[in-house]
């Protein structure tokens, strides 16, 4: 399968600060990347779909001004959690998808554990 | 709208025993179907997928799944469990009629515990 990296793997920050998480597609050009959030012992919750060169599409209930997504190249998407608060603490996972036509397969990064103090 | 139901949030099996994880879907058209595995504090790894070819799909680590349209199911099996199979397993579907930005809809997950 495709190789996807995320950086950092773990981050601890103070309340009110912003945190940027990078997602890189290492072995193919990903026209579409997805950002998920996962709470302990729960399934993945899709936050947004990131398309290269255009604005991200956010799922209902996800604040786009709080979770800024940038997909500036075919191999890199970033998620910035702005003015983070303890309730933003979670496991954030990105995934990549090849250019269409696609069967929908997504390849996932290893995740980023965010802890907001 | 599509949905996925995984019966049983937890499954406990003995080492060497059959592993059976159930997945049922709801979709207006036969979807693409996926099984992913997640080890603690890691991302998801693709185990196998069904994309309208053979209904019996073989994946990595000795897992296989069979697509049964009449039962709207895609159950995952492994004949003999190994300790390393202890993980969380997710069933997911996507819409074959969509092209770019084809989202996955995930089930709630099933945690597998393997007893020695």
Q: For residue range A71-86, what is the model confidence (pLDDT) as tens digits? A: 888 899 999 999 999 9
Residue ranges of B 2-61 with Cβ closer than 8 A to chain A: 32, 34, 36, 41-46, 49, 51
Residue B97 CA to residue B51 CA, distance in Å, equals: 12
Q: Copy the structure tokens of residue B81.
A: 């469990």
Is B97 in the A-facing interface, judged by CB distances under 8 Å?
no
CB contact under 8 A, B44 and A110: no
CB contact under 8 A, A111 and B95: no
Lowest mean pLDDT among A88-92, A102-106, B55-59, B87-91: A102-106
Residue A45 CA to residue B79 CA, distance in Å, equals: 31
Those residues of chain B that have pLDDT short of 70 are 99-101
- Looking at residue B99, its pLDDT comes to 55
Q: For residue A78, give the 3-state DSSP assignment.
A: strand
CB atoms within 10 A of CB A40: 6
CB contact under 8 A, B94 and A104: yes
* Among candidate residues B41, B4, B10, the one with its CA nearest the CA of residue B24: B4
Task: Calculate the CA B73 to chain-centre distance.
Answer: 10
Question: How far is the alpha carbon of A79 from chain B, nearest alpha carbon, in Å?
Answer: 16
- Looking at residue B51, its pLDDT comes to 87
Band of residue A108 on the pLDDT scale cut at 50, 70, 90: very high
Tens of pLDDT along A10-63?
Answer: 999 999 999 999 999 998 888 889 999 999 888 999 999 988 888 899 999 999
Q: Which residues of chain A form beta strands (DSSP E)? A: 4-7, 10-13, 19-25, 32-38, 44-51, 57-58, 67-73, 76-81, 90-97, 107-108, 112-116
Percent of chain B at pLDDT > 90 equals 75
Chain B residues within an 8 Å CB radius of A43 = 90, 106-109
Phi and psi at A49, nearest 5°, equal: -110, 125
Q: For residue A82, give the 3-state DSSP assignment.
A: coil
* Among candidate residues A18, A1, A9, the one with its CA nearest the CA of residue A94: A9
The partner residue sitting opposite B51, judged by closest CB among A4, A34, A103, is A103
Q: CB within 8 A of B95, min separation 6: which ones?
A: A104, B2, B27, B29, B31, B32, B102, B103
Residue A98 CA to residue A102 CA, distance in Å, equals: 7
Residue B101 CA to residue A49 CA, distance in Å, equals: 7
CB contact under 8 A, B43 and A4: yes
- Looking at residue B67, its pLDDT comes to 94
């Amino acid at each position: 399968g495709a190789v996807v990296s995320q950086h950092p793997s773990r981050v601890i920050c103070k309340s009110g600060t912003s945190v940027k998480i990078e997602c890189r597609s290492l072995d193919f050009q990903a026209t579409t990347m997805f950002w998920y959030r996962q709470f302990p012992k729960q399934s993945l919750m899709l936050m947004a779909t990131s398309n290269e060169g255009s604005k991200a599409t956010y799922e209902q209930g996800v604040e786009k001004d709080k979770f800024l997504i940038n997909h500036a190249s075919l191999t890199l998407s970033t998620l910035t959690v702005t003015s983070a608060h303890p309730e933003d603490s979670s496991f954030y996972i990105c995934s990549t998808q090849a250019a269409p036509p696609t069967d929908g397969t997504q390849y996932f990064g290893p995740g980023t554990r965010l802890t907001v103090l | 709208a599509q949905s996925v139901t995984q019966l049983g949030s937890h499954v406990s099996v003995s080492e060497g025993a059959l592993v059976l994880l159930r997945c049922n879907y709801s979709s207006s058209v036969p979807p693409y179907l996926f099984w992913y595995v997640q080890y603690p504090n890691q991302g998801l790894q693709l185990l196998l997928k069904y994309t309208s070819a053979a209904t019996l799909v073989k994946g990595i680590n000795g897992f296989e799944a069979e697509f049964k349209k009449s039962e709207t199911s895609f159950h995952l099996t492994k004949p003999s469990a190994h300790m390393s199979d202890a993980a969380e397993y997710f069933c997911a579907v996507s819409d074959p009629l969509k092209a770019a930005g084809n989202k996955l809809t995930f089930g709630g997950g099933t945690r597998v515990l393997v007893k020695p």
